[in-house]
Amino acid sequence: MLDRRNLLRSLAATGIGTALFHRSAAALLAAAEEISVDSIKQAEWITGLELTEPQREEILKNVRRTGSAMAELRKVRLTYDVPMATQFAPTSQFRRLETVTRNAEPTEALVVLLPETEEEIAYLPVHRLSWLVRTQKISSVDLTKIYLKRLKKYSPMLRCVVTLTEELALEQAARADREIAAGRYRGPLHGIPWGAKDLIAIKGYPTSWGIPYYKDRELDTTATVAERLESAGAVLVAKLSLGALAQGDQWFGGMTRCPWNPKIGSSGSSAGSACSVVSGLVGFTLGSETLGSIISPSTRCGASALRPTFGRISRDGCMPLSWSLDKIGPICRSIEDCALVFDAIHGADGKDFTAGNFEFNWPSTKKLDHLKVGYAKSARQNDEDREELAILKDLGCELVEIELPKGLPFSALFSIIDVEAATVFDDLLRADHTEGFNTWDESFRAAQYISAVDYVRVQRSRSLLIKEFENAIAGVDVFVNMNDLVQTNFTGHPSVVMPIGYRERDGAKSPRPVILSGHLNDDERLLAIASKFQANVTAHLEHPDLDSWLEKFAAGELGEA
């Protein structure tokens, strides 16, 4: 019999003797009562090596030992709110503040005329609604009732609402009206109705995570971001759909539809958040992103949104998918609104230890002259024909051609999500509670074959990516439409998205997006530049003709997607 220590040392580089091999062998015969030497032999294909009989015997002992240890560990109850002991910290080099000051206000002092119709009121951005509520031109209760009416009218078609929080909303709205009348104005979100992606826990209401198994499950907690919005005086009117376990736009209520073309989905996973805000069903929303779940539905639906620097907003009370990737961010009708919401929710809470206190001011105090904007040449358009570049030039920006890192195998980085998510939902997988999982169950099973060594190797490669990325963007303040969704999610850099125009497609409008990304912890400058950019376009002020689509829906012309 080979010496165990020497054997494992000699085979470590190939994965044999590691958690990869042990789990693989066990997975192949999960239904068997006993794992045998033949089981080990069947699992050898994973490493591409052929073991000797003595090596198989030695591995078998270790597999059994590891299996017993893991069986005992699975008896330990690890609820969703128990994070990994190690934390991703791309902003650790930045100075943290003891506390944050939340004093954001709209950039310009506005006098807003109350629109004549409820629909016109519903589509106003937050920074205009807030003036009307603060000056008591409209009460929070009346505004809340407008949104509740629209949620009830259009959600059956759009499938964007999981739970109406009507009773809570009317209580919060009435309290806001009393406080404002008494001169206790809390800020620009006071009395403004909002919607929460249904992975954000609200005590007293279900938090479904988009799957049938949790359809009626209530958590005995309220997420930090929801508590902070309540402190800001915001009014929660609905919990909004997300694709099952934050994947896509398919949930147990069907497919959340795009408001511009309800024949197609709204993308995801913040499907209901993007859909509802563009449809004028709420004043603003919160979404979450692991790898595109804010940017993608906002692009499809034509919302304005911020995916902030990793670690700027607490995820406490929110469903974890990947602890080292998840971000919470605002989805709104304007970039200015995103800044107002961000100001209310950012900062440390002592619960999510990735979240830190960093400076943020709105209106921004950052200098916006002599800006340099990175971009890449397009194979399909000349620079002179690109509308976003023309606007940036008109704003006085210097365009600098840059190239982002491409050398690392990004497909390997995706395993981070699979491994971390598989540990969150392992109990559901093993209990076969996988109805409505979309394709997550396949990913969770596959993740059992990724070794701890490879997971750490991928995370180390991620550190290399961050360094290369910072070097690539060192000479610019922001960069535009660089197809950087994957890179910026893994590096933790912030991005904003907004519509710049629309295409006609299949008899319906399709938003054309602009995506701006910036440096770590430079969310304030990024939002300021994006807001200045948005002041030169009108696409975010347009809204879909929902009533004409509602007629088609009533006639059964939208299908059962």
pLDDT of residue 47: 58
Q: What is the pLDDT confidence band of residue 561, given thresholds at 50, 70 and 90?
A: low
Q: CA–CA separation, 278 vs 123, rounded Å?
A: 8
Q: Position 255: which residue type?
A: M
Residue 10 has pLDDT above 60, yes or no: no
Strands of 453-536 (E only): list them: 478-480, 495-505, 508-518
Query: Over the stretch 110-138, which tens digit does the pLDDT of each residue have?
Result: 899 999 999 999 999 999 999 999 999 99
Alpha helices in 403-451 (DSSP H): 410-413, 415-424, 426-430, 440-447
**Dihedral through CA 74, CA 79, CA 85, CA 88, nearest 10?**
120
Contacts of 312 (CB under 8 A, 6+ apart): 91, 327, 342, 346, 347, 355, 356, 358, 494, 521, 523
Q: Give the residue from 191, 180, 315, 181 showing the smallest Cα distance to 246.
A: 315
**251 neighbors 240 (Cβ within 8 angstroms):** no
Q: What is the pLDDT confidence band of residue 34, given thresholds at 50, 70 and 90?
A: low
Global confidence as pTM? 0.91
Q: CA–CA separation, 252 vs 161, rounded Å?
A: 11
Whether the ω angle into residue 363 lies within 30 degrees of 0, i.e. cis, is yes
pLDDT of residue 64: 80
Residue 9: how many CB atoms within 10 A of its CB? 11
Q: CA–CA separation, 7 vs 4, rounded Å?
A: 5
Residue 394: how many CB atoms within 10 A of its CB? 10
Residue 25 has pLDDT above 50, yes or no: no
Mean pLDDT for all residues in the chain: 92
Q: Give the residue from 485, 225, 182, 483 showing the smallest Cα distance to 351.
A: 225
Contacts of 41 (CB under 8 A, 6+ apart): 51, 56
Helix (H, G, I), strand (E, B) or coil at 147: helix
Please report, rounded to a whole number, the percentage of residues in the chain having pLDDT higher than 70.
93
Cα 180–Cα 181–Cα 186 angle in degrees, nearest 5: 15
pLDDT of residue 66: 75
Residue 452: how many CB atoms within 10 A of its CB? 12
Mean pLDDT to the nearest integer, 410-429: 94
Mean pLDDT to the nearest integer, 425-448: 93
Query: Over the stretch 248-298, which tens digit does the pLDDT of each residue have?
Result: 999 999 999 999 999 999 999 999 999 999 999 999 999 999 999 999 999
DSSP notation for 55-122: HHHHHHHHHHHHHHHHHHHTTS---TT---SS---TTTTSPPPSS-------SS----PPPSSHHHHH
Q: CA–CA separation, 524 vs 285, rounded Å?
A: 19
Length of the chain as a residue count:
561
Burial of residue 357 (CB within 10 Å: 0-12, 13-18, 19+) is middle
Pairing of strands 327-332, 478-480: unpaired
pLDDT of residue 5: 37
pLDDT of residue 101: 94
Joined tokens for residue 484: 């950087």
Domains assigned to the chain:
118-354+363-405+461-554 (3.90.1300.10)
- Phi/psi at 240 (5° precision): -110, 155
Q: CA–CA separation, 287 vs 347, rounded Å?
A: 17
Q: Which residues pair with 509 in a beta bridge?
A: 504
Q: CA–CA separation, 313 vs 197, rounded Å?
A: 15
Residue 319 has pLDDT above 50, yes or no: yes
Q: CA–CA separation, 120 vs 143, rounded Å?
A: 12
DSSP notation for 345-377: HBB--SSSTT-------SS--S--SS-EEEE--
Whether the ω angle into residue 269 lies within 30 degrees of 0, i.e. cis, is yes
